[in-house]
Chain A
């Protein structure tokens, strides 16, 4: 196991020459979880695209331990596509590079085991479009688990998820961290970011990176979210929430 799972130094990214993300530098070790906070268009998905190798950096360097597994937002999937939860999980075996061959028995076994881990063993034969929102998110997580990647990138995995599914997903995250896997989770939820090891705040550039206690300050969050941030203050504590949108682009 290497000492650093993800290392990014001076990263800049651009679409058609127009910069969308600059000055990003952070490192994450095996077993660490990083919450990537930022507004719509702040560069969270762009960062993931660079880490996945889909977008070349305009500047800087990146190092990732192996090919990361990616869990996209469920809204990006086609609900009318005739695939079951098992079919979706089996898709994770495509990373093995044998995409021209039918799935083997061991591929199916791995997919069943992953569905079992996310609590969908009983729904393996159910069509993806007929699953609830939380179950769909868990099926996509199962696909990522099948990849057995060292680094997992998750785009808003708890957005619109029912409490039972959220608890199951959080449990899987704990297991993955205990197994030395590194998680980068894009999120709008400032309060849930407090449970991560590290927080990376992006707003077209890196605003802050570090432990939640150091990064989730009012000044940092205002610099990250601007007018999308609402700070709730009462006698017991200060809480910050953001106006939530789903990010579908950069």
Chain B
């Protein structure tokens, strides 16, 4: 069993730790709004939908961050437009997600023969996290914090009562587009560390657990932030110990905490 201090001392783990702390900040602040605005499925889909873009970028030498951003933002725009066309957001999300995953599988297996790189794209890696990944994660954390401060009241009013919020003269549509876009960008930022399939591990699970045990938006953000950071650091240590990518242990820890808080809240009062 390795020493927990290795996480802070070994250079490659230090970078992974910093990456997960930055993602944890986004996970706490933005995750609260993802859960409150019922965008959990969308956040999962936005990460997974980048798969074809990442496969193509990996094979052709294009920056995976740029390719992922382009696909994720295109995906968010597609969901927004399809939702406006009368379909529910969930339906539109599923429709576009299936199309993106199918395209990714065809590209990976038949066009580029990506092989082992696919695992890294889907589940993340401890190794190979670079300065660009850290800068992107820091920028997204800063954007999430700034947006939550500036748009939190609007997101809250729209989430509570969409009709009433529009009548208040709020830019409800634009605030929602910004939220979808921010979730899509945040999903891309998480891919290097946790992979395209496990974005929800940092952005949904901590906030979902916090939602069960808190009764206010402020409390939700604070609790989600603490859980996201704790699960990120503990998951990184487990990944190092078990020699596996960090995405799966962070996801398993998040799911266990969620189950625990659910069981706790369902316990009959004495």
Contact = CB atoms under 8 A, between A and B. Distances in A.
Contacts of B165: 91, 94
B135 interface: no
B168 A83 contact: no
A94 B157 contact: yes
Interface residues of A, number: 32
A95 interface: yes
B217 A82 contact: yes
Contacts of B168: 70, 91-92, 94-95, 147
A95 B166 CA distance: 10
Contacts of A163: none
A99 B164 contact: no
Contacts of B154: 94, 99-100
B167 A94 contact: no
A143 interface: yes
Contacts of B162: 76
Chain B facing A: main interface SS: helix
Interface string B197-234: 00000000000000000111101100000000000000
Given A72-B163, A82-B219, 12 more contacts: A76-B161, A81-B160, A82-B216, A82-B220, A83-B217, A91-B156, A94-B169, A95-B168, A95-B169, A99-B170, A100-B154, A103-B153
Interface of B: 36, 150-151, 153-154, 156-157, 159-170, 214-217, 219-220
Interface of A: 52, 54, 67-72, 76-78, 81-84, 87-88, 91-92, 94-95, 97, 99-100, 102-103, 127-128, 140, 143, 147, 153
Top 6 nearest A-B pairs (CB, nearest first) are A70-B167, A100-B150, A81-B160, A72-B163, A77-B161, A94-B168
